[in-house]
A and B are shown apart, each in its own frame.
Chain A
């Protein structure tokens, strides 16, 4: 078994607002192996984007990383001084951001933006070498050399996102974090961008963390999935077992909720809504909405533990569910039932 390229242990991130402290990420731990594709799934407020950005130490006040370790290839990124982190970003761990529209500088040529990172890290490239590198990168993402001489507004959304991928792989990092890279894109373009990302990743042998909320996209792209809820990781499993038999009740609900072209019916909705990060429930964070909850769930929070081979679940009843236990009687009723919301949910931070 190869050693993980990235080890995250007990990552904790807080947002300090005038109204109080919000625990956006609470004790996140996972390993990432070289060349692997890990999906980090959650709805808004789950903490997935905050977690992903923390790995790059891109969290700014009022957000603070308050604990944990992020070990990339032996180096704890959280212990590095800012100067050191700057060297690590892009060269070892890169970001494909959400919304390429706002990630590319509208007044700079594409060529300049790609070279920007290259120049900082690889000094002393001749002008010809630079042009060659730019064209090489563009070709790697399926774009013509002519794109280098264009401005972002001349490109379509999909093309801009592919430029972002090119920038992310330009220094051959070990880890690429893709934060909802296709959220604003059409299905057709989305597919092309994801295929480009996959190809680029394989070429340089990097590992990818794909952050998103589209389970369908995850099924098409990743090897393992981690599902986050209200700042915590609820289940971490390989992709196929996750879809065939999800063990955490929230994971089950999420998968059942995914619309599919095979089923002509509205999927069930999950009762209630994600709790406000400032008023978290006691015990298991999901228990107010869980149809498998027991009394113990209201008082004690379960940590992520290995239930089956490679499968980690934060649920007291994971074994029961694995064995096929049914939901509690009188729990969430027939699908399509309109369930009134529980307490109105505050718009938390877009985690």
Chain B
């Protein structure tokens, strides 16, 4: 039994990178939800790229940059608002801003959730009871109420402060979901085998449980992003959005504030709403697609 044989077979299950791409594409064909979700995100990216190419300068998102109240035209594909902002520039930057908040808050949310979930599951006892209590209370309080109170306390939020504020509620539900899955996985036979092999509690969580939880954590990451974006748009529409950077919800706030609907400036409110809808549909499809991916039965064939 030459070493060469062993080397060959240990390489066998790990594919070369070329066919990994093929595998991913093949999988996407079988998982239409995920494929369409990613497709929509790519569409949004394309929109942003188009804006970059078309707009003469992104600074036109600021008021008094161009002539106000212009309907969509070749020069201004999304028209302009009552204060002279180029809506294409504004929407493109707003898209970026909203997605940044979503990603930032979503990331913080899922990291906090994972930490709390593991701490609770590992230590058990009082610590776990406290975490459970906080989560249960948090779940019963309406998020928007909580966030409005927090946002008002800060005067004039920056984009990143916004993300931080919103992340304060994004971790609540994922904590519960991840924690219950950790507790359930803890009872698996391979965890007992790991104990028999001399592994300690923390080691088991990190080496045995965490890899298997990655699909769930990622799915919760997407959910967290969705929650964050929803919450941030809500706050922005109420006028509590970031003052420095554009975001989609703030556009809606201004539409209401400056009576854009009554004035018939349909292009003003249509663009951000379409973008928001596309974002949510994309996130929804991705999470549906991830559900399928996280199913252990599917993992064996991937």
Q: Is there a direct interface between A and B, measured as CB atoms under 8 Å apart in the complex?
A: yes
Which B-chain residue is minimally distant from A344 (CB atoms)?
Answer: B9
Which A-chain residue is minimally distant from B27 (CB atoms)?
Answer: A18
Chain B residues touching A, range = under 10
Among B209-260, those with CB < 8 Å from A are: none
Alpha-carbon distance A19/B302, docked complex (angstroms): 11
Alpha-carbon distance A76/B187, docked complex (angstroms): 50
Number of interface residues, chain A, beta carbon within 8 A: 2
Interface residue B301 (Cβ < 8 Å from any Cβ of A): yes
Alpha-carbon distance A234/B301, docked complex (angstroms): 31
Alpha-carbon distance A19/B301, docked complex (angstroms): 9
Residues of chain A within 8 A of B301, CB atoms compared: 18-19
Count of A-B residue pairs with CB < 8 Å: 4
CB distance from A252 to the nearest CB of B (A): 33
Interface residue B195 (Cβ < 8 Å from any Cβ of A): no
Which B-chain residue is minimally distant from A347 (CB atoms)?
Answer: B300
Residues of chain B within 8 A of A18, CB atoms compared: 26, 30, 301
CB distance from A319 to the nearest CB of B (A): 42
Residues of chain A within 8 A of B30, CB atoms compared: 18
Q: B283-302, CB under 8 A of A: which get 1 and which 0?
A: 00000000000000000010
Alpha-carbon distance A19/B26, docked complex (angstroms): 12
Alpha-carbon distance A19/B23, docked complex (angstroms): 12
Alpha-carbon distance A18/B30, docked complex (angstroms): 10
Alpha-carbon distance A18/B301, docked complex (angstroms): 9
Among A1-25, those with CB < 8 Å from B are: 18-19
Which A-chain residue is minimally distant from B300 (CB atoms)?
Answer: A347
Alpha-carbon distance A18/B31, docked complex (angstroms): 13
Residues of chain B within 8 A of A19, CB atoms compared: 301
Which B-chain residue is minimally distant from A17 (CB atoms)?
Answer: B301
Q: B68-90, CB under 8 A of A: which get 1 and which 0?
A: 00000000000000000000000
Which B-chain residue is minimally distant from A18 (CB atoms)?
Answer: B301
Alpha-carbon distance A10/B301, docked complex (angstroms): 31
CB distance from A94 to the nearest CB of B (A): 30
Alpha-carbon distance A324/B57, docked complex (angstroms): 95
Alpha-carbon distance A18/B26, docked complex (angstroms): 10
Alpha-carbon distance A88/B214, docked complex (angstroms): 48
CB distance from B299 to the nearest CB of A (A): 14
Alpha-carbon distance A267/B30, docked complex (angstroms): 46
Among A117-140, those with CB < 8 Å from B are: none
Which A-chain residue is minimally distant from B301 (CB atoms)?
Answer: A18
Q: A143-183, CB under 8 A of B: which get 1 and which 0?
A: 00000000000000000000000000000000000000000
Which A-chain residue is minimally distant from B26 (CB atoms)?
Answer: A18
Alpha-carbon distance A18/B27, docked complex (angstroms): 10
CB distance from B9 to the nearest CB of A (A): 10
Which B-chain residue is minimally distant from A19 (CB atoms)?
Answer: B301
Q: B19-30, CB under 8 A of A: which get 1 and which 0?
A: 000000010001
Alpha-carbon distance A19/B30, docked complex (angstroms): 13
Would you list 4 pairs from A and B whose C-beta atoms are within 8 A, ordered by A residue? A18-B26, A18-B30, A18-B301, A19-B301
Q: Which positions in B face A, CB cutoff 8 Å?
A: 26, 30, 301
Closest A-B pairs by Cβ, 4 of them: A18-B301, A18-B30, A19-B301, A18-B26
Q: Which positions in A face B, CB cutoff 8 Å?
A: 18-19
